[in-house]
Structure 1
Amino acid sequence: MLKAVIFDLDGVLVDSEPLMRYAFERAYRHVIGEGHPPIERYLEHMGESFPHIMRHLGLPLTLWEPYRRLCQENLDRVKVFEGSRALLERLGSLGLRLAVLTGKDRARALQTLEHGDLLGYFDEVVASDQLQHPKPHPEGIFRALRLLDCAPPEAVMIGDAVSDILCAERAGVLSVAVTWGIKPERVQTLCQPDFIVHDWEALTDTLLGLRDSMAVAGAHLNLVSEEIPALMTEAALHPES
């Protein structure tokens, strides 16, 4: 049965795109100077860790400190998506365990969750600087599952980026792609999520449907496992001629 829901943070629970654009463009001007900041290419890699994105774009890691500082100083540019809290409250009331798996470093992830008054909903927060291999590698999901005491078939990953969906796929976890995040066309065309939803009502219905269907499947498996000894005994008593 469904026991845990793992959420990406940016583009799923909070709208941080305005802050990312602001911080990246100013950090680029501070470190690089002239030229056009490749902000669109940067946003294509949301969900991945900042150092990984810098290496992919061929940019210096010295962008990190001014970018981090600008993000921390301008959290007022981050808004919680309408629908986030209602869904988290609903899932928590059903006894589901909740985690965040983010490409952010842990300090900024916690600051963002606290800023949005969301931190209290989550049992665990896993950030990229806690991992040897951030998304799209499955290490983050495996870490979250260990902390939540769940197996891959008992969990689902909610994300808006290609890296989220690939991470779930490689971990053997169901995935739900939301389309209100950053670069939604990419997650719909460059990977194969198990479900795609376009609004919070659809996401809620999908998760509740998974909870019910996985509970039925789990009950069926338990019934079958309980019947196996009896069937084996019956076969021994009445072997085929």
Structure 2
Amino acid sequence: MSINTVLFDLDGTLINTNDLIMASFKHTFEHFYPGRYEDEELKQFIGEPLYHTFAKHDESRAEEMVAFYREHNIANHDNLVTEFDGVFETVKTLSENGYKLAIVTSKMRNTVEMGLALTKLDQFFPVVITVDEVENPKPHPEQLETAMKKLGSAREETLMVGDSQYDILAGQNADVTTVGVSWTIKGSEFLASYKPDYLVDHMGELLEIAGVGK
């Protein structure tokens, strides 16, 4: 059975929020835990839900830390967010060729909508599954399975595209074909160690993997 569905992570995959995320983490940890982390160490937290990250440090203050992070993140969003090269054209081509598309992200809905609107990608995604809609975020397969159910897609027809180990593991747990992106802030070798089915250097390569035009 051929591919007709593509599920995308958002941050670090379609849109470049790396500078924004790093700035927001740095702002938050310097406030709550001054001097605890170097910039390079903060990268370890990218890709997992914010509450999980902060609860590992102090569960009693996790909600407060999430709110502090999000205030900074939203205030600086439009100044620091861009899309990765080839993303808009690739997603547009998939949409025009009848592929079923969805976002599955560990972010909360309001900042997801901000990012999609800013990059004009919102027009292509009828289904958006955020961390707010599920009990179990990635790497659990629930978000992917929810998206596939809404789209009416089968596992064997579906690609999962992402920049973090949580995306690849979620795809593997959902038994779909996985695609990692080499521009991940964590490094392509790190992502390759989780054995995605494909690792792309440019989003345009996804068109061949998905079989566009075949």
Give me the TM-score of the superposition, normalised by structure 1: 0.81
Alignment partner of 2:7: what SS?
A: strand
Q: Deviation string for 1:122-146 (max 9, x for gaps)?
A: 1111111211110000000011011
Which amino acid is the alignment partner of residue 29 of structure 2? Y
* Unpaired segments ≥5 residues, structure 1: 213-241
Alignment coverage as a number of residue pairs: 209
* Unpaired segments ≥5 residues, structure 2: none
Which amino acid is the alignment partner of residue 70 of structure 2? R
Identity fraction in percent? 29
Alignment partner of 1:44: what SS?
A: helix
Deviation at 1:54, TM superposition (A): 2.3
Deviation at 1:65, TM superposition (A): 0.6
Q: Which has the higher contact order (CA 8 A, sep 6+)?
A: 2
Following TM superposition, where does structure 1 have runs of at least 4 consecutive aligned residues deviating by more than 6 angstroms? Answer: none
Match of 1:188 among 189, 192, 199: 192
Which amino acid is the alignment partner of residue 175 of structure 2? G
Checking the alignment, whether the CA contact within 8 Å between 1:24 and 1:39 is kept in structure 2 is no
Q: Which moved more, 1:95-104 or 1:108-117?
A: 108-117
Counterpart residue number, 2:20: 19
Which amino acid is the alignment partner of residue 144 of structure 1? A
RMSD: 1.8
Counterpart residue number, 1:150: 153
Deviation at 1:41, TM superposition (A): 3.8
Deviation at 1:56, TM superposition (A): 4.1
Counterpart residue number, 2:72: 70
Give me the TM-score of the superposition, normalised by structure 2: 0.90
Counterpart residue number, 1:95: 98
Give 1 or 2 for the bigger CA radius of gyration. Answer: 1
Q: Which moved more, 1:51-60 or 1:180-189?
A: 51-60
CA distance in 1, matches of 2:148, 2:12: 22
CA distance in 2, matches of 1:125, 1:97: 12
Match of 2:166 among 158, 163, 166: 163
CA distance in 1, matches of 2:155, 2:131: 20
